[in-house]
Amino acid sequence: MEEKLVTLTIDGESIKVKEGTTILQAAKKVGIDIPTLCFLKDINEVGDCRMCIVEVEGRRGFATSCIEKVKEGMVVHTHTPNVLEARRVILDLIISNHHKDCLTCTRSGNCELQVLATKFNVLNVEYPGEMSKHRIDDKSPAIVRDFNKCILCRRCVATCKNVQGIGAIDCINRGFESCISTVGDHSLNDVNCTFCGQCIQSCPTGALHEKESLNEVWVKLKDPDAYVVVQTAPSIRVALGEEFGMDIGTNVEGKMITALKRLGFDKVFDTNTGADFTIMEEANEFVERFKAEDSLPMMTSCCPGWVRYVEENYPELLPHLSSCKSPHQMFGALIKSYYAKKENIDPSKIYVVSVMPCIAKKFERERPEMKNNGLYDVDNVITTRELAKMIKQANINFEKLEDSKFDDPMGEATGAGAIFGTTGGVMEAALRTAQDLLTGKDLDRINFEAVRGGKGIKKATVNIAGKEIKVVAASGLKNARKILEEIKQGKADYQFIEIMACPGGCIMGGGQPIKSSKIRSEVDVRKLRAESLYTIDEKSTIRKSHENPVLKKIYKDYLEEPGSYRAHKLLHTHYQARPKYNFET
């Protein structure tokens, strides 16, 4: 059926668009950028803030362009004096109840409210009035919630509820007392928050941000008695450059390593190597379960937000989770055992810092299960954004840095490790190794295209050694719930499941560079970052985890074999059921 087109005029430009298009969408087609604040494409399109108002000839009052649909013959004006003055007043009213510590705010320079205030020349608040005051919630190890900087746009609420299916936060109270909080106004630490950080990615201001730990890292870097080792997750290298004005998805691995060495880290290692160990242990665990038909389907366990979600909401399904630690935790355990012994370093002197795209890793690092011989596997987790701050604080001209390589002997990784950072990557990497383990052959099949792409749930059937293995890769916790419900109801016939808490995987983690609503409306950030990781994989000499020479040597000299007693002691863990709500007085 042919789509019906509507003709309208926007700021003197005649345009034809599909019926059902909003004025905001139509304006973009002719290069007119109508300002928005509460709008978040496909997530929060409610017209609450009214920043996107326009005038439409023949009607009284303003039209809200993000929700108003076009009509045949409509004539729209986006920047009349009345419109501009109304937007300025709206901003003034919002800012009047907003803490104005912009110079010290974590989002200064990347705040959508700040950008609009500058654009509309809102220099002084004409409506000071009374300001609401709220306590800062910094109880959780991952997220800080400062409602004093909230503008009630509800983008975080829509993301938590509609994208992740969690609903840990919502608007509570009424009138002047309205605010975004949890049930009973408890800390995020005490409700069913998974610390995925997608609310941070959605927030236009500094009302939500990660709990920073930069100062602790700086102190250790200056401590002559500390041996400070840093490891970087796969997706950091394809996102860090964005903090320095580079194109989205630019691979800055070499510059990143150079910057870390200049910051003073004693060794710079690659978490991709840890990912290769994860695959060896996970693939071996899957093969054992598959042969024994035990606790299937097996579910991946490398995403701490996802693990916490299962612990809180589906504790009866915990036996289905792989017992493998996540890559950076595995790697931290190896650094404080194998590497410490090899280099004759006291493990208690080693301070491991993980640079992660994920703020839930801050929670994971503190889990009591993540210890060996009384020492945490990882001592500190900083995000991509925090690393960028460190580089800027050190006055390093990142764009002009020469490339360096990761340090030996634990700096070699495979293409399989690289794709861990995108949804479907863990599954594909595991299948590359599992197929060789099950057949006893070095098979040529490398790519498993069916589990790639941005689709929230990807199902496939893989034939290995004459046996059909049904797999599914899902990202976003709302999609995860669908898979878990199938298992719970006995409707799932999968054998292997990969879940990432963040839509798109780690490349879109809560600790990654924050993109404005405008950029998210125009650019597929996930696709660009994912393509960069797949390019790294394709250009890698070795693309199967079990063929990594570093991995082979460590198994031969130290771990013996996947699934051995020592491997289990260092690289595996267990989980616990958590109460969905734990309201402590």
Q: Tell me what pLDDT residue 580 has.
A: 65
Q: Based on the domain organization, do 200 and 229 belong to the same domain?
A: no
Q: Is 364 a catalytic residue?
A: yes
Q: Tell me what pLDDT residue 154 has.
A: 95
Q: Is 213 a catalytic residue?
A: no
Q: Tell me what pLDDT residue 449 has.
A: 80
201: Cβ–Cβ under 8 A, 6 or more apart, which residues?
159, 508, 510, 512, 514, 515
Q: Tell me what pLDDT residue 191 has.
A: 92
Find out whether 273 and 264 touch, Cβ atoms under 8 Å.
no
Catalytic residue from among 112, 243, 311, 364: 364
Q: Based on the domain organization, do 398 and 486 belong to the same domain?
A: yes
pTM value?
Answer: 0.94
Q: Based on the domain organization, do 416 and 553 belong to the same domain?
A: yes
34: Cβ–Cβ under 8 A, 6 or more apart, which residues?
23, 24, 27, 52, 54, 65, 78
Find out whether 495 and 298 touch, Cβ atoms under 8 Å.
yes
Q: Tell me what pLDDT residue 585 has.
A: 36
Catalytic residue from among 302, 303, 358, 502: 302
Per-residue pLDDT of the chain (585 residues; tens, 9 = 90+): 578 999 999 999 999 999 999 999 999 999 999 999 999 999 999 999 999 999 999 999 999 999 999 999 999 999 999 999 999 999 998 988 888 888 899 999 999 999 999 998 887 776 666 777 888 999 999 999 998 999 999 999 999 999 999 999 998 877 777 888 888 889 999 999 999 999 999 999 999 999 999 999 999 999 999 999 999 999 999 999 999 999 999 999 999 999 999 999 999 999 999 999 999 999 999 989 988 888 899 999 999 999 999 999 999 999 999 999 999 999 999 999 999 999 999 999 999 999 999 999 999 999 999 999 999 999 999 999 999 999 999 999 999 999 999 998 777 889 999 999 999 999 899 888 888 888 888 877 777 888 888 889 999 998 887 888 899 999 999 999 999 999 999 888 899 999 999 999 999 999 999 999 999 999 999 999 999 999 999 999 999 998 999 999 999 999 999 999 999 999 999 999 987 665 443
Q: Based on the domain organization, do 41 and 98 belong to the same domain?
A: no
Q: Based on the domain organization, do 372 and 410 belong to the same domain?
A: yes
Q: Based on the domain organization, do 336 and 440 belong to the same domain?
A: yes
Cα-based torsion angle of the residue sequence 542, 442, 471, 457 in order, rounded to the nearest 10 degrees: 30
Last residue of a domain, one of 25, 54, 79: 79
Q: Tell me what pLDDT residue 581 has.
A: 60
Q: Tell me what pLDDT residue 492 has.
A: 84
Q: Is 196 a catalytic residue?
A: no
Residue 417 CA to residue 233 CA, distance in Å, equals: 9
Question: Structural domain tally of the chain?
Answer: 3
For residue 427, the domain's CATH number is: 3.40.50.1780
Token representation of residue 456: 């929230």
For residue 11, the domain's CATH number is: 3.10.20.740
Q: Tell me what pLDDT residue 263 has.
A: 98
Q: Based on the domain organization, do 226 and 249 belong to the same domain?
A: yes
DSSP codes of every residue in 148-202: GG-----HHHHIIIIISS----EEES-GGG-EEE-GGG--GGGTT-----HHHHH
In a domain, 434, yes or no: yes
Residue 195 CA to residue 140 CA, distance in Å, equals: 9
Q: Which range of residues forms the domain containing residue 195?
A: 94-210
Q: Based on the domain organization, do 200 and 232 belong to the same domain?
A: no
> Residue 125 — left, alpha, or beta (φ > 0 → left; ψ -120 to 50 → alpha)?
beta
Nearest to 422 by CA among 305, 532, 308, 310: 532
Q: Is 322 a catalytic residue?
A: yes
In a domain, 108, yes or no: yes
Q: Based on the domain organization, do 333 and 459 belong to the same domain?
A: yes
Cα-based torsion angle of the residue sequence 385, 387, 393, 394 in order, rounded to the nearest 10 degrees: -150
Q: Based on the domain organization, do 348 and 456 belong to the same domain?
A: yes
Q: Is 361 a catalytic residue?
A: yes
Last residue of a domain, one of 53, 79, 105: 79
Place of tokens 């994208």: 163
Nearest to 503 by CA among 486, 487, 520: 520
Catalytic residue from among 506, 532, 544, 545: 506
Q: Based on the domain organization, do 145 and 25 belong to the same domain?
A: no
In a domain, 580, yes or no: no
At 469, the amino acid letter reads I
Per 3-state DSSP, the chain is made up of helix, strand and coil in percentages (nearest 5) of: 40, 15, 40
Q: Based on the domain organization, do 180 and 235 belong to the same domain?
A: no
Q: Tell me what pLDDT residue 583 has.
A: 46
